[in-house]
Amino acid sequence: MSTKNLSSDKASDKIKSLAEDIKTCFFCTNLDHQPISTRPMGVQQVDDSGNLWFISSRTSNKNFEIGQDSRVQLFFSKASDNEYLSVYGDAEIYREKAIIEALWTPIAKAWFEEGKNDPDVTVIKVTPLDAYYWDTQNGKIVTLLKIAASAITGIRSDVGREGTLRV
């Protein structure tokens, strides 16, 4: 596995690419307590700065815990494509209608009876402070072929890459 650290726009682009491809993460709060609080969350959008946006409920434990400590950890995993992303960041909760409107999807209505006008709808913005990724360099098929060739020849093949993402 080779290391390729990225910064600035390239780091933001990598976060955006992986998070939008994987879509669902484990969203962890309450990081100072054991066990940490974890739940699956679907990312609504990743902006050009690498910030990750989620729809949430004002009355959720997650929002309460963010109010106590804004530090969060996000874990994205797509094992079928060997794509993984870990993001440590700072979470902010928004209630502005314009932001909710911009990020709203029909699927979100399953959690909010009154749709985007439900008074409990909030949006969480996670600003990455530290991130790390693992993925393949050549896509799934080429990676499988390289692994097979390594198994046959006994010669190790560098099929993956990993690195720090500094936004």
pLDDT at 154: 63
**Domain ranges (residues) in the chain:** 2-166
Tens digits of residue pLDDT in 42-71: 999 999 999 999 999 999 999 999 999 999
pLDDT at 40 over 80: yes
pLDDT at 144 over 90: no
Higher pLDDT, 23 or 79: 23
Domain 2-166 = CATH 2.30.110.10: yes
DSSP the chain: -EE--EEHHHHHHHHHHHHHHH-EEEEEE-TTSSSPEEEEEE--EE-TT--EEEEEETTSHHHHHHHH--EEEEEEEEGGGTEEEEEEEEEEEE--HHHHHHH--GGGGGG-TTGGG-TTEEEEEEEEEEEEEEEESS-HHHHHHHHHHHHHH------EEEEEEE-
Tens digits of residue pLDDT in 26-35: 999 999 999 9
Higher pLDDT, 167 or 115: 115
Q: What is the reported pTM?
A: 0.86
